[in-house]
Amino acid sequence: MDWFYAREGRQTGPVSESDLIELSRTGVVTGDTLVWHAGMGDWQPYRTASAAFETPLRFCNSCGNRFPASDLAMFGESAICAGCKPAYVQRLAQGMTSTAGHQHFEYAGFWIRFVAYFIDGVILSIARYIITIPLGLEPFLRPGQPGLATYFGFAGMIGIAMQLAYYIYFWTQHGATPGKMIFGLKVVRPDGSPISPGTAVGRWFCYILDTLIIFIGFMMAGWDDEKRALHDRMCNTRVIKTR
C-alpha cells in the first residue's frame, strides 16, 4: 500500500508502509503529520492512521508516536522509543517513576464521552428497529395485545446481542465506536495499545453495572484524574483523544 504524507505544505510520496514507519523513527514524520492512502476519505494524523498498519505498532509513552514493538524499550509498563530514551532515563534518574510516561495522553472527559455514548445509542436503536419492526416484535405494533412479553423475550435479546457485537467489534478492530470516532476518541490500555476481545467483553458487562448503580459509574469520569469511568477502572482502560 502506497502512502502520502504532508511536509511543508506539500504532498510527498508515495512511500511504502515500512518507509513511512522509518520516517517516523527519524522524526521526518511525527504523530501530527497528515498522511493518506487510496481508499481513505480524508487525510489523518499519522498517530491515528498508523493504527491500520499491517505491522503491529504500539505507542511510545513519552512522545505518543507509534513504533514497531521491537523498537521500544520497556520501563515497567512504559514503552519508550529510541529518540525519547535518553531523556526518559534521565528523568528516571532524577526520581520520576515510569508512570510519568502516560502524561502525553489527553484523556476524554465526561461530557464528550456522554455525547459519543448517546450517538452510539441512537445508531443501535435505529439498527434494532430495522430488524424488529418487520418481525412485529415491537409492542406498539400490537395495541391491546400482550406484546410486551414478546418484546422483552425476542426483541430484547436481539438488542442485547447487537449491542455486545457492536461494542466488541468496534473497540477491538477500530479502537472506538462510531460515536467516539466522530470526536477522535479511542479506547486503549494504559500503554496506548488496543484492548483485547476479553477486555472488550468485560468492559461491556461493566456498562451494565454502571447503569445499575444509577449511572454513577459513568459519572466517575467527571472527577477521576485520568477521566476513568467505573468500567475503565475495572478493566484498566483509558479513553484518549487522538486529535
Burial of 7 (0-12, 13-18, 19+ CB in 10 A): middle
Assign domain 1-55 to its CATH architecture: 2-Layer Sandwich (3.30)
Query: Grid cell 466522530 — which residue?
Result: 182
Contact present, 13 and 1 (Cβ < 8 Å): no
Which residues of the chain are modeled with pLDDT < 50?
A: 97-103
Residue 100, pLDDT score: 41
Start-end of CATH 3.30.1490 domains in the chain: 1-55
N- to C-terminal Cα separation, the chain: 24
Residue 232, pLDDT score: 93
**Which residues are paired to 36 by β-bridges?**
4
Q: Is the pTM of this model over 0.75?
A: no
Residue 52, pLDDT score: 74
Residue 70, pLDDT score: 74
- In SS3 terms, 231-242 reads as HHHHHCCEEEEC
